[in-house]
Amino acid sequence: MKKKTVIFTLFILSSLLAMSAFNANNSQAAVEPLANLVFKTNGGGVRPDYGLYIAQYLREIGIEVEVKVEEWTVFIGTLLLTRDFDLGVVGLAGGGSSPDMYDCYGADGSLNMYGITKEMPYGNKSENMQIEGVTIVDLEQRQQHYYDWQQLMMDKIVPMLPLFAPRSYVATWANTLGYDGRWGIIDSLPYIEYDGLHEGQDSLTEFSVADANWRDLNPLQTDDTSSSFIFGLMAESIVGWSPDLAPLKTSLVTDWEQIDEFHFKFTMRDKVFWNPSYNVTGRDASSAALDPATTQLMNGLKDEVGEDRFSDGENQQVTAKDAVFTYLAWANSIVSESPSYHNWISAAYVDPVDELSFHIEIDGNPLTPEIEQYVDFWARLPWEILPEFFLNSSDPTVSYTSGGAECTGFYTGILDSDAWVYYSTSAFGCGKYMLDYYIKNSVTVLQASPFWMGIGIIDGTEQDLDIETFNVRVIPDISAELAEFKAGKLDWTGLTAFPSERKQMQADPRFEVQSFLTASFTFMFMNLRRPFVGGVDNFEYLTAPGKQEYTKGCAVRKAINYAVDRDEINQVIHDGEYLISHSVIYPFTAYYYYNDIIKYNRDLDAAVEWLTAAGYEITIPGVPVPLFGILAAIGAAAFVALYRKKK
C-alpha cells in the first residue's frame, strides 16, 4: 500500500508540474512584445545600471528593451548625429543659473537630442514660450510663464523622464555657528562665529579651507573656480543672487525699476568705499600688518584732474560708474574672455542726475541677428563689481561691446598696462576681505577689511566680521584635505566624494554635515522621431474619452514614464539620497523649477491605461508563472497527506 501511495504521489506531482510548465511556455510564447526598443548610454558610473532597471520595468508592460553602452565620444555622436536609439540616459551639469534651456528643447537647439520639432503638436507652442520667456522681465510673471512651459513639456510633449539630482555634502566642526551650506562660505562669513575651540584649533578669529592654486585674480580673465573664490572673498556683487537663483536687493544694488519693456534703472547703496589698492607683491607671513599709511598702494589708469588714482579705503566711493564699467568690460572683447555672455546689452550708462543710479537697456528682440537670440537677462547681472578708477583709462579710444554698446577707455594693449598686470596678482575690491599675502603651492591669506560696508547679503542686516583672518591652503588632493580637516587644521571640507566618512560624521556630534542640490541632473530621454515612441504617432490624436488633446506618441511616452520605478532605483543605487526630479529644468534652479508639475510616479495601472488609449492591448501579468508550479506541488502533497490520513 505504501508503494502505491508513493507512485500515486509522484504521478500527481509530475502531472501538475508538467501542466504548469506547458501552460507557462504557451502563455509566454503567445505574448509578443508591443515593441523592441534600443536604449543607449555611456559607460562608467551607474547609468548602465539605470538602463537595466528601466528594461526590467518596461518588460512588465510588454516592451522589450536592449541596453547598449557606448564610449562617451561615440555616445555624443549617437545623441546628436546618428540618433539610432529609442531611449537613453544622460546628465546635464554646470547650468541651472537660468531657466532658459533653449539649447536642449528648442527645435534648433544644439542639444536637442529628443528630436523636438516646431511641426509636431505643441512643438511650436513650446518654441514660442521659450522665446517669450527670456523677454519677460517681471520676475513673478516670468516665474509663472516658466511654470506653464514646464507643465506643457511634461504633460503634452513628454520628451523625457526626469531621474535624479545629486546632492553635495560639506562638513564643518560643530563649534562653527552661522554657516549655511546653500549660501556658501563667502555669503555666510559675516554670520560665522565660533562656540569654543574644536580639536586642533588654536584661534577663534581664523577660518581655514583648502583649494587648488589660483591662476589670475582678475575675474575678466579668470577661467578657474579657485581664482573666482579668492576674488569673491574680496568683492561684492552688483546685484545680489540667492541660492534659489533669484535677484536680491541686499548687495550693492538696493532697488530697481522698469522704465519700459527693455529699459531698467538700478539704484546702489550709498557710502560704500573701495578697499585700499594694496600691492601685496613680495609680502609674506612676516610682513607688517596691512595699513594704507605704510603698505604700498598701487596706482590705477584713470588720470583725471582732482581724482586720486589709488584707494586708501576712504577716498574712492563705489558708485554707478563702477557698475556700468563692470558690465561694459565683461561685454568688451578687448578685456573680456567671455564677451558674448553680455551681447544683450544695447546700452549701459550712469544716470545723468544721480551718481548712485545706472541704466541698462537690453535688446529684447530675439530675431535681431547680431544679438544672442535667447538670453536670460537676470542671470547675467550678479557680477562682482570692478574699480573703474583703477582699471579704466582716460584714453579717448571708443570701442563697442558684443551687443553694440559704446565704451570709452579700452584700447588694444590695455591688458599689458601696469594696473591690469598688477590687478591679476594683487586684486582688491569693496568686499569683506583684503589680500594679505600668498605663497604658491602653500597658502593665500586674507584679512578682514575695516572698510567693508557691513551688510550681510542673506538678510540685508548689519553685520561685522568675527573671522579676522581667512586662510586658503593649497591641498589639491581631496583625501589629504579630508585628513587635515579631521585633524582640526581645516574648518570646512567637502564630503561628497566620501560617502562612508560622511555617514560617520553625520553620527558624530563633533561635526555638522550639510547638503544641498548640485547644478546637475540626469534623465531618461526619448527619441520622438522613432516609431512607437514617436514618429508619425506624434501627429495622431487619441479618441479615448478625456484624452483627445493628447497624441498617440505622447500616450506611449507617458506609459513608459509611469512604468519606471524611480524610487526603487534611488534606494538601490543611491541609498535614497538623491532628489527625484520631475521637470525639464534643473531642480537647482529653485526659483523657476515647478514642483507642482505632473509627476510620473510608478503606476502600472496608469501605464496600461495610456497604452490602451493609444490602441495597444496589454495586461499586467498576475502571479508569476513559476509560482503556479510550486502551488501545484503543494496542492498535490496536501492531497496525498489527506489521502493517507483517511487510509
Q: Cell for 334?
A: 578687448
Q: What three-state secondary structure class fits 399?
A: strand
9-23, 58-72, 523-537: which range is least confident on average?
A: 9-23
Q: Is the dihedral angle over the CA atoms 478, 480, 484, 490 positive or is it negative?
A: negative
Domain architecture of the chain: domains with CATH: 1-34+626-647 (no CATH), 37-165+519-613 (3.10.105), 172-212+440-515 (no CATH), 214-431 (3.90.76.10)
Confidence of residue 368 (pLDDT cuts 50, 70, 90): low
pLDDT digits (tens, 9 = 90+) for 49-96: 999 999 999 999 999 999 999 999 999 898 888 999 999 999 998 877
Distance from CA of residue 607 to its chain's centroid? Answer: 31
- Between 54-68, 74-88, 608-622, 633-647, the lowest mean confidence (pLDDT) is in 633-647
pLDDT at position 554 is 98
Cell, residue 324: 556700468
Name the grid cell of 407: 565704451
CA–CA gap between residue 471 and residue 203 (Å, rounded): 12
Position 13 pLDDT exceeds 80 = no
Q: Predicted confidence band at 621 (pLDDT cuts at 50, 70, 90)? A: low
- Residue pair 255/408 in contact (Cβ under 8 Å)? The answer is no
Distance CA 626, CA 304 (A): 90
Tell me the average pLDDT of the chain: 89
The two most distant CA atoms of the chain are separated, in Å, by 124
Give the closest residue to 502 by CA, choosing from 494, 529, 510: 494
Cα(256)–Cα(65) distance, rounded to whole angstroms? 54
Task: Give the pTM.
Answer: 0.83
Count of residues for the chain?
A: 647
* Cα 268 to chain centroid, rounded: 29
Q: Tell me what the mean pLDDT of segment 362-379 comes to.
A: 58
